[in-house]
């Protein structure tokens, strides 16, 4: 595992260095197109994607394939033994704004079969672009650096009224999310805290650090439960369904499980069957993560899955 750890950590540090150098020239915040999944791609995404391939072509000492947000699957050697699932920047928008929530996310899985899943991940690495703090995990446990205390440091919060939590809105119609959990936002905003980070990885990692109690992204369940809302999701996503892609969560879910976080999809089902290399909307995911099993149970029961008072703003076919 030492070779793999060195490769993952070296890759993350290289991407961070390239992004730091680029940021020193001034933040452009330019959109250059869309990823294969349909998400807008900024100038910093191009810098990070190039950095991933450059580093791995020079330093990979095992036969590898790499799967990134923009580049899809690239085999760097014949008959690759591992695939690295890399989101070079999870949190493109905060990174573009020079904020703290952007992270490099890397998960490694053996390529023993053609369709590896999240359950196949054997090592993962998250690196904060702004601070350089990091979390690494494999079969030997978690290691970390740059944090002021030992990890994991899960909170003991069980009451939704007191939870510090984050939610997701990118590609998620606001009126549908409001119908589902506005009451939870109202309940917790004053006696707890509610945040939108635009980074699933950062949100989940903050549960590991003890800074957050929970993270909720329910878009994919809302769409599955209410297929008539598809036009609303397509409108919010500029023509694409933008829920949690495998590269968004591969590293974070692995590390969260190693840390003892209760993390599932929004039905309460395990995320392990998620295929790592498939961007289809039916393989995209929802997520509810909590520091305690009780808080997780409370969230599953408190979110209004029937969407009371909500109707689609447009009409159209279902998936």
Chain segment 6-29, per-residue pLDDT in tens? 999 999 999 999 999 987 776 555
Mean predicted confidence (pLDDT) in 36-44: 58
Percent of the chain residues past pLDDT 70, beyond the cut: 90
Domain boundaries, the chain: 1-145, 164-302
89 labelled ligand-binding: yes
Lowest mean per-residue pLDDT among 117-121, 183-187, 305-309: 305-309
45 labelled ligand-binding: no
* CATH fold of 164-302: D-Maltodextrin-Binding Protein; domain 2 (3.40.190)
Asked whether the predicted pLDDT for residue 314 surpasses 60, the reply is no
- Residue-wise pLDDT for 49-59, tens only, equals 999 999 999 99
Identify which of 19, 173, 144, 172 has the alpha carbon closest to the alpha carbon of residue 92.
Answer: 19
The band of 222, judged by pLDDT with boundaries at 50, 70 and 90, is: very high
pLDDT of 26 reads 61
What is 1-145's CATH superfamily? Fructose-1,6-Bisphosphatase, subunit A, domain 1 (3.30.540.10)
pLDDT of 96 reads 80
* Pair 151, 136: CB distance under 8 Å: no
The widest CA-to-CA distance across the chain, in whole angstroms, is 56
| CA 239 centroid distance within chain | 21
Lowest mean per-residue pLDDT among 66-70, 75-79, 190-194, 307-311: 307-311
The mean pLDDT of the chain is 90
Mean predicted confidence (pLDDT) in 265-279: 95
90 labelled ligand-binding: yes
Mean predicted confidence (pLDDT) in 107-127: 93
């Amino acid at each position: 595992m030492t070779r793999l750890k060195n490769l993952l950590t070296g890759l993350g540090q290289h991407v961070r260095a390239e992004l730091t150098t680029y940021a020193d020239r001034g933040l452009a915040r330019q959109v250059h197109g869309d990823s294969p999944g349909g998400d807008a791609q900024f100038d910093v995404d191009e810098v990070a994607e190039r950095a991933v391939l450059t580093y791995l072509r020079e330093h990979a000492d095992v036969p590898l394939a790499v799967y990134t947000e923009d580049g899809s699957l690239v085999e760097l050697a014949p008959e690759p033994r591992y695939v690295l699932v890399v989101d070079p920047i999870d949190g493109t928008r905060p990174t573009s704004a020079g904020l703290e929530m952007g992270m490099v996310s890397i998960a490694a899985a053996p390529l023993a079969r053609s369709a590896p899943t999240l359950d196949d991940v054997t090592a993962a690495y998250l690196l904060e672009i702004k601070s350089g703090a990091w979390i690494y995990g494999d079969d030997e446990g978690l290691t970390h650096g740059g944090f002021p205390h030992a990890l994991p440091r899960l909170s003991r919060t069980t009451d939704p009224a007191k939870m510090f939590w984050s939610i997701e809105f990118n590609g998620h119609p606001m009126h549908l999310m409001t119908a589902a959990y506005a009451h939870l936002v109202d309940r917790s905003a004053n006696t707890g805290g509610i945040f939108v980070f635009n980074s699933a990885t950062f949100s989940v990692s903050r549960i590991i650090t003890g800074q957050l109690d929970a993270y909720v992204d329910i878009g994919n369940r809302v769409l599955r439960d209410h297929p008539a809302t598809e036009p609303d999701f397509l409108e919010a996503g500029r023509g694409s369904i933008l829920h949690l892609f495998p590269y968004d969560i591969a590293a974070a879910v692995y590390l969260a499980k190693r840390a003892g976080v209760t993390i599932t999809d929004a039905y309460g089902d395990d995320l392990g069957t998620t295929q790592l290399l498939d961007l289809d909307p039916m393989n995209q995911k929802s997520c509810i993560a909590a520091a305690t099993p009780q808080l997780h149970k409370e969230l599953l029961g408190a979110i209004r899955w029937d969407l009371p008072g909500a109707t689609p703003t447009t009409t159209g076919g279902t998936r």
